[in-house]
Each structure stands twice: as C-alpha cells, then as structure tokens.
Amino acid sequence: MRATLSFLILVAYPLWVHLSVSIGHPMWGATALPVFYLAQRLLAVGGLRLGAVDWSVLAVLGAAVAVGLAYGRHTLIYMPPVAITAMIFLTFARSLVGEGPALATRFARAMGETTPEVERYTHRLTWVWTILLGAIVVETVLLPFLVSDEVWSLFCNVLNYVFIGAFMSAEFVYRKIRFRRPYTLAGFIRRMASVDFRNI
C-alpha cells in the first residue's frame, strides 16, 4: 500500500506541473516540488526517518523555490524531467559497459528467464532502451529553449511518459510473439513487482 501511494505521488507531480502551466501559474508547479518530494520520501521510508541526503535535497529544493519566488522565476519546473530521465538513462547505459550483464538481462534472470536466446535479446533491448532514453534526455534539455512552456510541459510531463508506456507495451507484445510463451500483461506485471530491485 505504501509503495502504491509513493508511486502515485511520483505520477501526480508531472500532472500537477502540467496543470499549473496550462492554467498560467507555472510557479505552482515549482513551489510544490519540495512538498511532493517530502511526501514521496516519507512514504518510501515509512515514517520520519529521512537520511542526510533527503534533508540535503529538501534544503536545496527549498532554497531554489525561495530564489524563484524572490525573482519571479519558475526555472525549477524544468529540472525534474531532466533529472528523472537522465537517471534512468544512466542506469541502463552503465549496465552496458564494464563487467556484468545488461540491465534488461538482470531483470530477465530475476524473473527466471535465463536461456541464451533471452539473454541475447535482453542485451539488445537494453541498447534500445538506452537510445530511447538518451533521446528523451536531449529533448527535455532542449525544449525549454525552443518552445513555449505549454508545449514543453505537454511533452516533458505527459507525452514522454506516454511514449515510454507505448514502447513497453509494444515490446511486451513482441516478446510474447517471439518467445511463444503464454504471457499475460497482469502476470508479467506481477512477476516484475515480485522482483527484489536491490539485487538488480
């Protein structure tokens, strides 16, 4: 239950930013970031046991909001989409260099899929994810300089996640056909949810 609420907060923040930009009050999205971050972290750790890193992040976000309010700037809203996609991109990219299996291969192994064909497929899949996420990172960095806040928000807070969801859905269908296994979406999600991410 706590994990579900934490995930819902992560989903709610970009939607809140998009709403605030759409109605002409982007500062609402910027000032809400520390609140959303605090709520998400409290749920994640199950109480007030925040670590030094969390308090440091909150202090930085609070200072950024204060500066934004003082100067009438809402620059802070541009940061989360870049940070989130860059973090995921780096996670995939780092697994492709050095020793150890690629990230998608680790997930496959954790779910009990360890055939050589699956491992080759998931290694290539990690490359595809890395390229896709890298393109999204570049987009999120460039869009604030090229388009209006409304168009930026539509892409960075809504459509990019739709693109990722669409790719995941298409990959699921392709995997089901290629490996001729009786996958169901609900079953696949349950298996993913059962994975201990600390071991990935």
Give per-residue pLDDT as tens, 75-107.
Answer: 889 999 999 999 999 999 999 997 889 999 998
Could you read off the pLDDT of 20-60 as tens digits, one per residue? 999 999 999 889 888 888 888 887 777 677 888 888 888 98
Could you read off the pLDDT of 116-163 as tens digits, one per residue? 898 999 999 999 999 999 999 999 999 999 999 999 999 999 999 999
Residues 130 and 63 in one domain: no
| Listed residue (152, 139, 169) closest to 14, CA to CA | 152
Quote the pLDDT of residue 38: 86
Quote the pLDDT of residue 183: 67
pLDDT over 70 (residue 14): yes
Quote the pLDDT of residue 154: 97
Residues 87 and 155 in one domain: yes
| Residue 66: half-sphere exposure toward Cβ, Cα within 13 Å | 6
Residues 90 and 168 in one domain: yes
Residues 135 and 189 in one domain: yes
| Domain residue limits at 95 | 78-200
| Listed residue (117, 5, 168) closest to 105, CA to CA | 117
What is the number of domains present in the chain?
2
Residues 182 and 84 in one domain: yes
- Contact yes or no for 103/200 (Cβ under 8 A): yes
Residues 66 and 92 in one domain: no
Report which residue type is found at 48. L
Residues 115 and 135 in one domain: yes
